[in-house]
Amino acid sequence: MVLPKHAYFQGKIVPYSKAKVGVLTHALNYGTAAFAGLRAYWNELEKQLFIFRAPDHYRRFLNSAKILCMQLDHTPEILTQITVDLLRVDDYHQDIYIRPLAYKSDEIIGVKLHGLHEELSICALPFERYLDDDTNAHVTISSWRRVDDNIIPARGKISGAYANSAFIKTDANRAGFDEALVLTQEGHISEGSAMNFFMIRDGVLITPPITENILEGITRRSVIELARAELNLNTLERQVDRTEVYLCDELFLTGTAAQITAVTRVDYRPVGDGKMGPFTAHLYSLFQDILRGRVPKYKHWLTPVYEKS
């Protein structure tokens, strides 16, 4: 991966090499940071870069920061504008990933959330695929459990909690799987290491509710809306048992990085007939078109970066 060109750091846009923190920084030692992950897509025809649902990502980002007792005095709209300004300076003409971070910046010893300062950084870098083949993923059920709301709230995108995701991902990859599903403490399906879970069983689209220790995904919310509006499919938000995953007809994961990723095998068992199913395929291609600004009806989800004369 190449490094970002610039970063928004301590209130200004600077070369990325100048966006540095000391090793004693609180967030680096104790995981006391909140982050977001957005993507922007290059549309060659329009010569435009579109950020997907930026204000929604920033609303969640501010909520994550709030859970960590941070007082950021930015609105989602201001954060979106800073991102646009940064991307204009970067001048990317390709798909990119954007990483905002709000972190406890004090260089002190002491585990706590209160009485500390916070800083905001944003940087962006070129990014294409997250999984090698997002139409044909093989996943396992992780032996790790999802962090619980009363341990580290998964609802917030809290840096420290991503050690949990890293355990899940590494063990899955080392065992030869593309990704893993992770169970709650009670043994129900929560989500993937960094993506939300959907399955279709007997014609019903099902996803775990937000009380199952999931991140409240922006892609998840978009898929629920698209399924209803474009596929006439209502989503049932309910607990999902492990063995339902073995019996479902279609399964896919959603996330900013993973977009819509079709899962075709779980622990060597085929999902449906072992190929990406028709509903998933429909959502997959519709979503690709929406992300690149090719569907006028959903252009309100996109923030264009470059000014057009």
Q: At its nearest, how many Å lie between ligand PMP and the CB of residue 66?
A: 17
d(Cα 212, Cα 188) in Å, to the nearest integer?
A: 8
Residue 99 contacts residue 71 (beta carbons within 8 Å): no
List CB contacts of 257: < 8 A, sequence separation 6 or more.
37, 39, 97, 127, 130, 194, 195
Q: Tell the smallest beta-carbon distance from residue 47 to ligand PMP (Å).
A: 26
Minimum Å distance from CB 62 to ligand PMP?
14
Let me know: does 200 contact 279? Beta carbons within 8 Å: yes
Shorter beta-carbon distance to ligand PMP: residue 107 or 289: 289
CB of 161 to ligand PMP, least distance (A): 8
- Angle at which helices 76-90 and 54-67 cross, to 10°: 120
Least separation, in Å, of the C-beta of 242 and ligand PMP?
Answer: 18
The one catalytic residue in 5, 104, 157, 169 is: 157
Burial class of 306 by CB neighbour count within 10 A (0 to 12, 13 to 18, 19+): middle
The answer to whether residue 308 is catalytic is no
DSSP state of 41: E
Burial of 22 (0-12, 13-18, 19+ CB in 10 A): exposed
Residue 17 to residue 39: CA distance in whole angstroms: 22
Please, are residues 105 and 25 in contact by the beta-carbon 8 Å criterion?
Answer: yes
**What are the residues binding ligand PMP (CB under 6 A)?**
37, 165, 191, 194-196, 215, 217-220, 254-256
Nearer to ligand PMP, 5 or 301 (CB): 301
Q: Residue 215: what residue type?
A: L
Q: Looking at the annotation, which residues are catalytic?
A: 157
